[in-house]
A and B are shown apart, each in its own frame.
Chain A
Amino acid sequence: MLFYSLQKVIFWTDMDRFRPLMFVLFLLPVRVVGYFPNGIEKMAELALQIRHLTKSFKGRRAVDDLSFTVAQGEVFGFLGPNGAGKSTTIRIMVSLLKPDDGDIFIFGQSVAIHRNSVLKDVGALIERPDFYLNLSARQNLNMLAGMEAIPLEQVDEVLRIVSLQDRAGDRVKTFSHGMKQRLGIAQALLGHPKLLVLDEPTNGLDPQGMKEIRDLVRDLSDRGMTIFLSSHLLDEVEKVCTSMAILHQGRLVTTGTVNDVLNQAQQRIVELEVHPIEQAETLLSSRKDCREITRDGHILRLQADPENLPAINRALVEANIDVRAMIPQHSLEDVFLSLIEDEG
């Protein structure tokens, strides 16, 4: 608590030149005596660490005591429905918003305390990419590169990566949404960031555009970049991410590798192919270990704990109902819904 209070004072000071001094005077001693639970070395192994992050807007909690970590080199999916608090978290990450409490550490450094040096390692595309429409793609990127004294050769390099080199001289206002999205990624890549934050990068794109972005993400990941990908498209996370966190109403629902999270709920949602289906539905509806039963043609879908599945199967067979198939679900959407329902 003491750490966060001191940190808040320093955060609100907002004068970069005084921050190092205040860090030495206040925060370093606190860390040295072990008040801070993790050592700096351990934190540096992580690309991202979010600790007890809280943010409210006009009394409504957008992010509520959120904590999770992202290891270096991961493609991390940040999943949640619209309004879950994903963009708020990301905006705090790149210091567009200030948290009410908690902090974010990127490569072991606090965003609140070391904003400028932290952001040197971060490239971000926040929601839809908005540029200076009257300027060309190259002029937009030159302008951003000039701010941080990034060599202008990098502008050509990032334009090549996103395959926009042929349209570099055209005004951004003539660009399609997909091209703007790619230009958004190009600006995020300026400065060779170690962590790339993409907030809903495939929003509004056609299937071809979505595939291009996914391929690009995989390509960037192969280059060793840590990628933090926010999305409400479950399929997208499943296709490109190695780990993920699910957010709902500002709170963390679950986090882990995509496979772990998938398995976690695979075992909860089951599809049953049974006959006669009406009789099966009536029987299962009367059982306390079956929840959320829905019928889709000849298929019954239900939620059940894995250990209860043999008993459910037995009950159906004893009632002379043919059980032709009992299939645990693989869709991440089911995972998402079942976890959120649990949370609710």
Chain B
Amino acid sequence: MKALIINELRKIATRWRTAIGFGAIGLLMPLVLWGFHKGGTGIERSMSRALEGQFIIVGTLFNGFLETYLVMNLLWVHIPFLVTLVAGDVVAAEGATGTFRIYLIRSISRMKIMTAKFLATWIYTAALILFFAFMSLGLGSLFLGTGDLIVLDSGILILPPEVAWIRFALAFLLAIISMGVVATLTFMFSSMVNNGIGPIIGTMAVLLIGLAISNLPLDWFQTIKPWLFSSYLDLWRYAFYDPIPWDTIGKYVGILILYITGFGGLGFWVFNRRDITT
């Protein structure tokens, strides 16, 4: 299995699409940092206005933590797209390029090959999120410094630096799980077709419809909202609540795991029964 996973990772690593994901983050984050450094005073002023009635603010609110907290909102739509770029190709590209004909005729079961592909997809997803964490939190704290993290959400929460690090670790872990659902959905589509574009479009369509349903204040939509995985793409936010709502996080992670099992299981099931005609 180790050799199979290494094979899959090697294939992912040699594709241009993989470079696009990491390249996009690698380009975007320095730009964001530069933007915060040069033009973040507006945001800081508006935050200070919200706080100065109740707090005496010494120094700057602006630091690598706040910058990371703000850019984590990219996880809603942009990062899923980068995830689908690669996950869409993991199975489907082999059909498109005809390499199934040298790969699936070996004395290894399709189940094992799919497991390796599935794990490699997750490793890529986790690596992308961790790279995002390094570029935002790592570089951010290096260039903008660290300090208290001010979280303005349902209230005001001030987290000291030593707690902020732990909260970000939890937030990125939750982000990996929610992006893993996106990766698994794309993987499922990828196991059904022979082109890498279909799974990307399919996943993004499901995602956008899900997000629309989750955010539209219609009664029926609100009824089904708790059952949509797209409602939990911002699961990472719960890492910045005080106290951390472990019950809620556990419940939502459970729902996401159900989705992962369902999407992954369907992908495996379809692929095991598929005729390879390309």
Query: How many cross-chain pairs have Cβ atoms below 8 Å apart between A and B?
Result: 89
Partner pick for B273 among A57, A98, A147, A148, CB 8 A cutoff: A98
B78 to chain A, nearest CB (A): 27
With beta carbons under 8 angstroms apart, the residue of B99, B106, B108, B272 that contacts A132 is: B99
Stretch in contact with the other chain, from A122-130, A262-270, A284-292, A296-304: A122-130
Q: Are B102 and A148 closer than 8 Å at their CB atoms?
A: no
Contact partner, A147, options B3, B14, B100, Cβ 8 Å? B3
A residues less than 8 Å from B275 (CB atoms): 91, 96-98
Closest residue of chain A to B16 (Cβ to Cβ) is: A134
**A132, B100: Cβ atoms under 8 Å?**
no
A208 to B6 alpha-carbon distance, docked (Å): 38
B276 at the interface (CB under 8 A from A): yes
* Given known A-B contacts A130-B101, A135-B14, A148 and B107 have beta carbons under 8 A apart: yes
Given known A-B contacts A116-B109, A132-B14, A135-B14, A144 and B102 have beta carbons under 8 A apart: yes
Question: Is the Cβ of A147 less than 8 Å from the Cβ of B276?
Answer: no
Q: How many chain A residues touch the partner (CB < 8 A)?
A: 40
Question: With A98-B275, A126-B101 given, is the CB distance from A119 to B106 under 8 Å?
Answer: yes
Chain A binding surface SS class: loop
CB-based contact B105/A96 at 8 Å: yes
- In the assembled complex, the Cα of A184 lies from the Cα of B97 at a distance in Å of 14
Q: Please, how many angstroms separate the alpha-carbon atoms of A139 and B97 in the complex?
A: 17
Q: Is A131 an interface residue (CB 8 A)?
A: yes
Question: Is B206 interfacial (CB 8 A cutoff)?
Answer: no
List chain B residues, Cβ under 8 A from A134: 14-15
**Within the complex, what minimum Cβ distance (angstroms) separates B191 from chain A?**
14
Q: Given the interface contacts A15-B111, A16-B111, A98-B273, does A131 sit within 8 Å of B102 by beta carbon? A: yes
B4 nearest CB neighbor, chain A only? A147
Tell me the chain B residues, 1-37 only, with Cβ under 8 Å from chain A.
Answer: 3-4, 6-7, 10-11, 14-15
**CB within 8 Å of A: which B62-115 residues:** 97-111
- Identify the closest chain A residue to B268 (Cβ): A14
Residues of B within 8 A of A131 (CB): 99, 102
Q: Say yes or no: is B46 at the interface (Cβ < 8 Å to chain A).
A: no
Closest to B102 in A: A187
Whether A72 sits at the interface, judged by CB under 8 Å, is no
B108: contacting residue among A57, A126, A128, A148, CB under 8 A: A148
Interface residues of B (CB under 8 A from A): 3-4, 6-7, 10-11, 14-15, 97-111, 272-273, 275-277
10 tightest A-B CB contacts, nearest first: A130-B98, A146-B3, A96-B276, A119-B107, A94-B105, A120-B107, A126-B101, A134-B14, A97-B275, A116-B107
- A residues with a Cβ closer than 8 A to B are 12, 14-16, 57, 91, 94-98, 115-120, 122, 124, 126-135, 139-140, 143-144, 146-149, 184, 187, 191
**A14-B272, A132-B99 given. 9 additional CB < 8 A pairs?**
A15-B111, A16-B109, A94-B105, A96-B101, A96-B275, A115-B109, A119-B106, A120-B107, A130-B101
